[in-house]
Amino acid sequence: MTVPTAERITAPATRLAGPRIDAWAKVTGQALYADDIRWPNLAYGVLLRSPHAHARIVSMDLEPARRMPGVLAVLAGPGSVAPYGIMPSTQDEHALAVNKVVHVGEPVAAIAAETREAAAAAARAAAVQYAVIKPVLRPGPGKGQVEPVHPEHPQGNLFKQVDLEFGEVEAAFFDSWVREDSFFYQGNNHGAMEPHAAVAYWTPDGQVEIVTSTQTPHYVQRELSRALGIPAYKIRVRASVVGGGFGGKSEAFGHEVAAVLLSRACGRPVKITLTREEVFYTHRGRHPVSMRVRTAWNPAGELQAMDFRSELDGGAYSSYGIATTYYTGALQPVTYRIPAYRFHGERWYTTKPPCGPKRGHGTTQPRALVEIHLDRVARALGLDPLELRRRNLTPPHSITVNQLEVTTSGLAECLDAVEAMSDWRARRLQPEPNRGLGVACSAYLSGAGLPIYWNPLPHSGVRMAVNRDGGVQVFCGLTDIGQGADTVLAVLTAHALGLDPARIRVHTADTGSTPVDLGSYSSRVTMMAGHAVLMAAERMAALVTEAVAARQGVALGEVRREQEGFWGADGVIAWEQAVQWAEAAHGPLTTFGGYTPPPPIGRYKGSGVGPSPTYSFSACVADVSVDPVTGQVAVHRLWVAHDLGQPLHPSLVEGQVRGGVVMGLGEALMEEQAFNPDGRHRGPHFLGYRMPTILDVPPIEVALVGEPDPRGPLGAKEVGQGPLNPVIPAVLNAISAAAGVDLSETPATPDRILRALKTQPQRRTI
Amino acid sequence: MAEALVSVTINGRRHALWGEETEVLLTVLRDRLGLTGTKNGCEVGHCGACAVWVDGLPQLACLTLLGSVADRTVTTVEGLAGWWRTLNGNDAYHPLQTAFVDNGAVQCGFCTPGMLMAGAALVRDRPGATAEAVRESLAGHLCRCTGYEQIVRAVLDVAAREEDPA
Ligand code: FES
Ligand code: FES
């Protein structure tokens, strides 16, 4: 086994540092995750879930459950007063199933009791009769299907179809060299280590307090308002300390609604904590996607056109499905210059747990196929795969064919960096048997340009207060899900005000006390909350500086900072003194900042998915060996270069890159949300669903490249999602180079590799 | 299954707990004693988030029955600093806690208590441990956030210092 040695991080100078502000709470066991919270008189809730993938509920006898010791409340569907869902145009979920169930693990009843064990025992006592219907396990019109997933849905199981076309696609295909490839990207789960949990209290005066493990308190508040039929201002949603999200906690879930309803029924606060098995049923993980790509090329190896088709297996409900569908087509032209582009996407309902956004949301699957396809094109054209990519990069400061505005791009530098770090040229000239290198590129959003529901308001807001004690309070709705958003908010404030970070206290993720931030998704937080906090800080600095100028009787431009304070006529004026002068002049010091992304330039239906203030870029090279007898893959090393503009905080950045890369490695090699023919999950636990352990992780060398982006706060772009995307195709391309065969699906497990070795003529490896 | 009075020392304090001997230690710690630093990531021994020390050795609390810790000592992440202080007669945190903070080994923090208990046992028992030994000792602990590298760095940091306390 190789051991990581001397792994490099090369990067432009970073501006901010220091440990995470929540690190000590987390290493001493003090941090309160949702399941750690114990409000006085707390009751415990559990959900009774369907054992069937597709069934009609014939009858439900909940009396035996009600009679069990310690039971406080028992509820059956629908629970919610109106169907809810994250996308306003496709709200199709209820907290508890009505009439029929459409996936294994769908909640049908909710029980509150004195203890978790008592609630679970009561759930076992309930008697539900089901009439089982043939499950719908594959996207598509469904041969032999007995009943569609949602009989009331007008298009059968077709949830959504989208078609986009830009430029002269047919003409480009007419007399060019053309290649076509297909690929199936398997679904997978976020695997956040903390299972979802929520504690809710319906207060005697009809208000709702809920603390939940969520990435999006604002959206949860909106959805609860709809599901409960009460105004949003009566609902206060706070995120607990969140034990990882990765997209899996980005909308309201049945257990959150049920916890509120159980609390109303029993008059006590109620906590519901999902088991790991329930997390796999709640899911919203990466969609399984079948894809086909066709490209047209000129003799110089320049891409003339791309025709991309994707078919998404959406699972039982909508979730973010419309956005996901568009995302499978949106970013191809951001990475590579594509003069003519056609995209067809369709998403289908099936009777499996609903899919949703996972790190890389909808762009990870097409990225895999595009990059595998490019390697095959390079092979056919006799070009080095790196060289083919270099000839086709989307230039910086350009507008793509689908009307996305690209600002800075360090993608060429990313390729240079991984080429140099991996010693690409020399190693390709001297190949070892059964060993190969693979490369891939990617691009990702730095925050979605549009919110989930249409509104013209800021995407992120900050309220800043400075007390007479010299401390700074920052209020922002952003949510730290482990990525370090609270720390970024604090260090940006300290930086902008020229203060010791110890003065800064952040208050976040609370709809009852913080201005709205839309949430931790689409890599938007540093970009948007970052701008908002810098604006608030600039205004605060102006208030204090004006007060100093007035007291000193000097012009504003003559005020000079000295350490945390100011230079005055009689020596240094402490920050506290300056703040008190400002408070005397203005009253309590409060400023605001807000950020709204630049308006998208596209004007077509679907143009709302894809725009971003700016894009990050990444490239990866993988070095792997394949054992031709066992099909086992050994990943020797990964080299990753990422352009995130100006890195703000080195250790947070490194953590995001490494975490994303390892998650990508898991998707490439082992992770699989797979189902039996009856619709049951094949292994809803961490033995059946394998994620990388420390022993699966090879040495990873990281280079940060790029230049500060004019659109980013202090020049920063995103790092939370982008570095995952190129890893999967880089590993798959390396496997293909090592084994001399092509894979047609993820993950690249030994059985799939052996099948390819058996069924395909083996190429001579390069 | 028998109810019994189980005497167990947890983080230096003696508890007399009346309960089923088959009650799971993780539930006892979290739900009965309010020691919620020990995490429940899977409940069935797959993730390592619930690791504690029983008589000083790392053990998964979700697979440990109350009866089996009778008359033994249990240390959780909340007691790690206390154990270190008693050992050294000072008021410091365990150096691995500091190293996790300084090396960026903590992201969401959910795996952290388990990682700390496993890592602290390693640096105690095998000062100067190699990267390979560190990786092997943490192999049963899943972390979804960090990619593990910064965790390994933190443990190696302390392992090197423990070997050479200069
Ligand atoms: S909770 Fe004990 S190993 Fe996962
Ligand atoms: S820090 Fe999140 S699981 Fe390890």
Domain residue ranges of chain B, discontinuous segments joined by +: 3-76, 78-162
Q: How many structural domains comprise chain A?
A: 3
Dihedral sign, Cα of residue B62, residue B64, residue B65, residue B71: negative
Amino acid at B76: T
Residue A306 has, within 13 A of its CA and on its CB side, a CA count of 33
Does residue A222 sit in the same domain as residue A312?
A: no
Q: Which residues contact A601 (CB under 8 A, 6 or more apart)?
A: A399, A403, A405, A611
B78-162: what fold?
A: DNA polymerase; domain 1 (1.10.150)
Q: Which tens digits make up the pLDDT trace of A590-627?
A: 999 999 999 999 999 999 999 999 999 999 999 999 99
Give the residue among A25, A189, A707 at the shortest CA–CA distance from A409. A707
Which residue ranges have their beta carbon within 6 Å of ligand 1?
Answer: B 40-43, 45-50, 60, 62
What band does A764 get if pLDDT is binned at 50, 70 and 90? low
Is the residue at A140 inside a domain? no
**In terms of DSSP bridges, do strands A504-508 and A472-476 run parallel, antiparallel, or are they unpaired?**
parallel
User: What range defines the domain where residue A577 resides?
Assistant: 6-31+457-595
| Whole-angstrom distance, CA of residue A521 vs CA of residue A527 | 12
Average pLDDT, chain A: 95
Taking CA atoms, what residue in A is nearest to B79? A28
Return the axis-axis angle of helices A364-381 and A321-330, rounded to nearest 10°: 20
Is the residue at A174 inside a domain? no
In chain A, residues with a C-beta closer than 8 Å to the C-beta of B80 are 28
Which H helix or E strand runs over B14? strand B13-20
Instruction: Give the pLDDT of residue A175.
Output: 87
Let me know: does A647 contact A718? Beta carbons within 8 Å: no
| Whole-angstrom distance, CA of residue A223 vs CA of residue A229 | 10
Starting from the CA of residue B115, give the closest ligand.
2
Reduced DSSP (H G I as helix, E B as strand, rest coil) percent helix, strand, coil of chain A, to 5: 30, 25, 45
Q: Which two tokens stand for residue A724?
A: 């995952």
Mean pLDDT of A493-502: 94
Mean pLDDT of A266-290: 98
Does residue A308 sit in the same domain as residue A395?
A: yes
Q: Which tens digits make up the pLDDT trace of B48-104?
A: 999 999 999 999 999 999 999 999 999 999 999 999 999 999 999 999 999 999 999
CA angle A435, A438, A439 (to 5 degrees): 160
Q: Which tens digits make up the pLDDT trace of A78-96?
A: 988 999 999 999 999 999 9
Is the residue at A390 inside a domain? yes
In chain A, residues with a C-beta closer than 8 Å to the C-beta of B116 are 27
| Whole-angstrom distance, CA of residue A316 vs CA of residue B13 | 50
Q: Which of residues 73-132 of B touch A (CB under 8 A)?
A: 76-78, 80-81, 93, 97, 100-104, 106-113, 116, 130-132
Starting from the CA of residue A658, give the closest ligand.
2
Q: Which of A2-6, A23-27, A518-522, A531-535 has the lowest mean pLDDT?
A: A2-6
Nearest atom of ligand 2 to the alpha carbon of A243: 2
Is the residue at A472 inside a domain? yes
- Which stretches within A182-320 are classed as H helix? 217-228, 254-266, 276-282
Q: Which two tokens stand for residue A217?
A: 């308190």
Q: Which residues contact A54 (CB under 8 A, 6 or more apart)?
A: A100, A101, A102, A103, A132, A133, A134, A135, A136, A147, A149, A351, A679
**A230: domain CATH number?**
3.90.1170.50
What band does A143 get if pLDDT is binned at 50, 70 and 90? confident
pLDDT of A686 over the 90 cut: yes
Q: What is the DSSP letter of A157?
A: T
Q: Which two tokens stand for residue A256?
A: 């959150």
Is the residue at A142 inside a domain? no
Is the residue at A179 inside a domain? no
Please state, for a pLDDT cut of 90, what percent of chain B lies above it: 94
Does residue A126 sit in the same domain as residue A273?
A: yes
Cβ contact, residue pair A697, B144, below 8 Å: no
Average pLDDT, chain B: 95
Instruction: Give the pLDDT of residue A5.
Output: 30
Does residue A660 sit in the same domain as residue A555?
A: no
Does residue A472 sit in the same domain as residue A491?
A: yes
**A461: domain CATH number?**
3.30.365.10
Q: Which residues contact A403 (CB under 8 A, 6 or more apart)?
A: A166, A600, A601, A602, A603, A604, A607
pLDDT of A765 over the 90 cut: no
Candidates A28, A30, A188, A697, partner chain B, best to mutate (most B CBs within 10 A)? A28
pLDDT of A553 over the 70 cut: yes
Query: Omega into A148 within 30° of 0, i.e. cis?
Result: no
| Whole-angstrom distance, CA of residue A116 vs CA of residue A107 | 17
CA angle B115, B43, A270 (to 5 degrees): 110
Does residue A102 sit in the same domain as residue A222?
A: yes
Instruction: Give the pLDDT of residue A763.
Output: 82
Please state, for a pLDDT cut of 70, what percent of chain A lies above it: 98
Q: Which two tokens stand for residue A737?
A: 């180079």
Q: Which tens digits make up the pLDDT trace of B88-145?
A: 999 999 999 999 999 999 999 999 999 999 999 999 999 999 999 999 999 999 999 9
ipTM attached to this prediction: 0.98
Give the residue among B42, B114, B144, B50 at the shortest CA–CA distance from A684. B42
pLDDT of A380 over the 60 cut: yes
Q: What is the DSSP letter of A600?
A: P
| Whole-angstrom distance, CA of residue A659 vs CA of residue B5 | 45
Q: Which two tokens stand for residue B55?
A: 């008589």
pLDDT of A14 over the 70 cut: no
pLDDT of A158 over the 90 cut: yes
Q: Which tens digits make up the pLDDT trace of A194-227?
A: 999 999 999 999 999 999 999 999 999 999 999 9
Mean pLDDT of A266-270: 98
10 Å CB burial of residue A426 (0-12, 13-18, 19+) is: exposed
Instruction: Give the pLDDT of residue B137.
Output: 97
| Phi, psi (degrees; rounded to nearest 5) at A73 | -160, 145
Does residue A498 sit in the same domain as residue A619?
A: no
Instruction: Give the pLDDT of residue A598.
Output: 97
Q: Which two tokens stand for residue A248?
A: 């899996």
Does residue A62 sit in the same domain as residue A207?
A: yes
Q: Which two tokens stand for residue A33?
A: 């995750």
Q: Which CATH code, of 3.40.50.720, 3.10.129.10, 3.10.20.30, 1.10.3210.10, is assigned to B3-76?
A: 3.10.20.30
Give the residue among A486, A489, A488, A490 at the shortest CA–CA distance from A503. A490
**In terms of DSSP bridges, do strands A303-315 and A235-239 run parallel, antiparallel, or are they unpaired?**
unpaired
10 Å CB burial of residue A300 (0-12, 13-18, 19+) is: exposed
In chain A, residues with a C-beta closer than 8 Å to the C-beta of B31 are 115-116
Mean pLDDT of A182-188: 98
